Structure 1
Amino acid sequence: MAQQQTDQLHHDVLVVGGSGVDTVVRVDSLPVPLADSVSVGPILEWPGHTGGNVALGCRNLGLNVKFLDYLGDDWTGERVRERLARGGVDFEALISPAGTRRAVNLVEKTGRRMSFHDGRDPADLRMPRDFYLPHLERTRHVHLSITNFARFLYDDIEALGVPVSTDLHDWDGLADYHKDFALRSDLVFLSAAGASERIASVMREILREGRAEAVVATAGAGGSYVMSREGSRTPRPVRATVPPAPVVDSNGAGDAYVCGFLYGRLAGRDLEECARLGAVAGAHACTGKGNEALIGPDELLAA
C-alpha cells in the first residue's frame, strides 16, 4: 500500500457516509393497492441505513471499523448513535444542518421491499479534510456510501493508495450521479435489478472505463455475479445461500453481502470465495428485522 506501513494502520475498514433511520411498514403485497387507508402491522423504526449497516456488519465480523458521517442534532440522530454504540462501532459525526437522513420501506410477506429514501443532505455539503484524512491514513480499506460529499474524498484516497469499495445499489448504468463512485472505486457492488437485462454490459463498462478490479452484481434469491479485470468479460454466477431460518425482512441484506465479501477480501480470499461469504451473510440478514440479524465470523466460515 503506497505511502503506508502496515504496522501503522489502525482500522480494517473505514466507512464514510450513509447513516440514517428506516421506518419499516409491513404490507400484504407490492405494489400497495390504491386506497385512502390501509391497515398494517406494527410500524417499526431501525437506525442504520447502508453505511451504518456496513459498519455494524463488519464490526460484528470482528473487523476494526471506523465510521465517519454527517448526522442531525435530532432524536433520529440519537437513535443512530445508540445503535452504533450498541454494535461496538467507533463512530464520529459532524452535525448536518438538514437533519438525519430517513427512509420509509414497504416490506411484503416474502421480504421484498420498496424504499422511499430522503437523503436530505445539501448539495454543497463537504466533509472537512482535516476530519477524515487522519483516518484515511490509518486504514486498510475504505468503503464509501454514495452520499454526495463522499465523492470528494477520492483524490486523497487515490493519493494514499488505499483500496476503496462502494455500493451503487440499483444504479441503471446511466444516471450521472453514480459515475464518480462507479469509475473511481477498486471494488464496485450494485444490484442487478437496476440495469435489469443490461447488467452485464454495465459491469463491463465499469471495468473498461474505470479503475475497478472487480464488479459484483447482487440478485437476491437469484444469487450474485462477479466480473473482474483479469478474468472473462462474462459475469460469473455465484449461487445464493438458503437462509438458515424463515425470511423476515430483506432490508440490509445487500449491505450484509458487502460485509461478508469484505471480510473475505481482507483475509486474502479469491473473488468467488468472497462472493460466497457475501451470500451467506446476506441470507443470514434476511432472517431478522432491520439490521439485528448480523452474522459472526464463526457462523460465516462454518456455513
Structure 2
Amino acid sequence: MSDPLYDVIAIGNAIVDVMAPCEDADIARLGLAKGGMTLVDTARAKELYDAMGPAREISGGSAANTLAGLAALGANCAFIGQVADDQLGEVFAHDIRAGGIAFDTPTRADEPPTARCLIFVTPDGQRTMNTFLGASQFLPAEALDDATIAAAQVLYLEGYLWDPEEPRKAMRRAIAAARNAGRKVAFTLSDAFVISRHGDDFRALIDAGQIDILFANEHELAALTGIEDFHVGIEQLAAKVPTVVVTRSENGAHAISQGERAHVPAEPIAKVVDTTGAGDLFAAGFLYGYVRGRPLAESLTLGAICAAEIISHYGARPEADLKDLVAQRLG
C-alpha cells in the first residue's frame, strides 16, 4: 500500500451556517424543536431567515467542520461536497480552501442554490438547526475520483448526507474505493432523526464490516442499537466495529478500539456559549490522534480539547489556535 496523500478525505454537506441568538420564547413561537436539526424546504427556510435577528454567516457542514479542525491541528485534508454556482457557493469554496483543505468538486449550474443552515442559539448555548440542503443533496457519484479516495488514510462520511439518494450512492462508491485500497472508513451518525430514516442501512454497513471507526453521541447510540443502557449498547456495537467513539456531553467520552477501552472527562470551560459543532470538532481531535498513531485515551483527550474550544464561542469553526491548546494541555 502506498503512503497516503491525505490524512483524511471527507464527504459531506457543503453548507453556509447562518447563526443568530434568540430566546426560548422565539423557539416556541416558531414551532421549532429545541436542540435538534430539522430539514426545511425553500419556503420554510425563507420564513425562518426573515424571523432571525442579526446573524453571522460562516461556512459549515458537519464533515467540513471536522476537516477545518483537522487542518488547524496540522492534518492534510480534502473535502468532497456540492455547491451551486452562486454567491454562497463561492463563500463556501473560499473558506474551505483558505483553511488549507483541498476542494475540487465542480459547482452545480442549475437550481437549487447552495445549502444553508439557519441556527437559533438560546441563552443556554443550545443550538436549534434548520437545514435547507439545496445543492448539497445533488452530489453525483460521478463527482468522485476513486484514485483520490484511495489516496487518503481515512475516508470520513457524514450521516446527514445519507438522507438524499444521489449523495448516498456517491458515498457507497467511496466506501468501495477506500476499502479496495485498504484504507479506513469512518462514519458519523450525525443525528437520531437520520438513524430513524436510515438505521437499517447503517446497521447493514456495520454488519458487513464496512465501517472501521464509528462516531456517535449517547442518544444516537441508543437509537442505533435499541438499547437504553449506555454501557451495554457500546459493548454490543464494539463487537462489530473496530473502533467506536461515543460522546456524552458534560460526562465526557468513551471509546472501545480492538478491545481496548478508554474514557476521558469533558474539558473544563468557563461558559458554554454555543454547542454548534461540538461533535464535529470532537471527531477532528480524535481523528488527528488516530492518524498520528496516538494512544486511544490521548485521541479522546484531543477530541475533548477541540470540542471545548468550539463551544466557548459562536460558530462551528475554531477561533483559537488548536495546536497551542493541545500543546498547553498535553505538552
Q: Secondary structure at the match of 1:190?
A: strand
* Within-5 A mapping of 1:170-249: 170-171=191-192, 175-181=196-202, 183=206, 184-194=210-220, 195=222, 197-208=228-239, 210=240, 212-231=241-260, 237-243=263-269, 246-249=271-274
Residue 10 of structure 1 pairs with residue 1 of structure 2: no
Question: Which of 311, 323, 326 is 1:286 aligned to?
Answer: 311
User: Residue 129 of structure 2 aligns with which residue?
Assistant: 115
TM-score, normalization: structure 1? 0.84
Structure with higher helix content: 2
TM-score, normalization: structure 2? 0.77
C-alpha distance in 2 between matches for 1:100 and 1:225: 36
User: Residue 57 of structure 1 aligns with which residue?
Assistant: 69
**Alignment root-mean-square deviation, CA:** 2.9
What amino acid maps onto 1:19 in structure 2?
Answer: A
Q: Deviations over 1:258-302 (max 9, x none)?
A: 111011111212222211110011001112221242542232132
C-alpha distance in 1 between matches for 2:141 and 2:122: 37
Q: Secondary structure at the match of 2:145?
A: helix
Q: Which runs of 4 or more aligned residues in structure 1 lie more than 6 Å from their structure 2 counterparts after TM superposition? A: 35-40
User: Residue 58 of structure 2 aligns with which residue?
Assistant: 46
Q: Deviations over 1:103-160 (max 9, x none)?
A: 222211221112122334687753227x321212222221112223223321221111
What amino acid maps onto 2:219 in structure 1?
Answer: A
User: Residue 72 of structure 1 aligns with which residue?
Assistant: 84
Report which stretch shifted further, 95-104 or 46-55.
Answer: 95-104
CA-CA distance at 1:246 after TM superposition: 3.6
C-alpha distance in 1 between matches for 2:260 and 2:102: 37
Q: Secondary structure at the match of 2:81?
A: strand
Alignment check: 8 A CA contact 2:6 2:78 kept:
yes
What amino acid maps onto 2:96 in structure 1?
Answer: L
Residue 164 of structure 1 pairs with residue 193 of structure 2: no
C-alpha distance in 2 between matches for 1:75 and 1:124: 18
C-alpha distance in 2 between matches for 1:294 and 1:19: 23
Report which stretch shifted further, 52-61 or 182-191.
Answer: 182-191
User: Residue 104 of structure 1 aligns with which residue?
Assistant: 118
Q: Deviations over 1:220-264 (max 9, x none)?
A: 2221222334246xxx54200013x54322111111111110111
CA-CA distance at 1:166 after TM superposition: 1.6
CA-CA distance at 1:80 after TM superposition: 0.6
CA-CA distance at 1:30 after TM superposition: 7.3
Residue 34 of structure 1 pairs with residue 29 of structure 2: yes
Identify if the C-alpha distance between structure 1 residues 61 and 174 changes in structure 2 by more than 3 Å, giving closer, same or farther.
closer
C-alpha distance in 2 between matches for 1:285 and 1:246: 11
Q: Deviations over 1:73-103 (max 9, x none)?
A: 2222111112112222211123345432222
* Within-5 A mapping of 1:258-297: 258-290=283-315, 291-293=317-319, 295-297=321-323
Alignment check: 8 A CA contact 1:60 1:294 kept:
no
Residue 138 of structure 1 pairs with residue 151 of structure 2: yes
What amino acid maps onto 2:234 in structure 1?
Answer: M
Query: Aligned pair count?
Result: 291
Alignment check: 8 A CA contact 2:188 2:214 kept:
yes
User: Residue 252 of structure 1 aligns with which residue?
Assistant: 277
**What are structure 2's unaligned runs of at least 5 residues?**
32-47
Residue 92 of structure 1 pairs with residue 104 of structure 2: yes
**What are structure 1's unaligned runs of at least 5 residues?**
none
Report which stretch shifted further, 107-116 or 220-229.
Answer: 220-229
Q: Secondary structure at the match of 1:254?
A: helix
Alignment check: 8 A CA contact 2:15 2:136 kept:
no
C-alpha distance in 1 between matches for 2:134 and 2:75: 30
Over the matched positions of the two proteins, sequence identity in percent amounts to 24
Alignment check: 8 A CA contact 2:84 2:135 kept:
no
C-alpha distance in 2 between matches for 1:88 and 1:255: 18
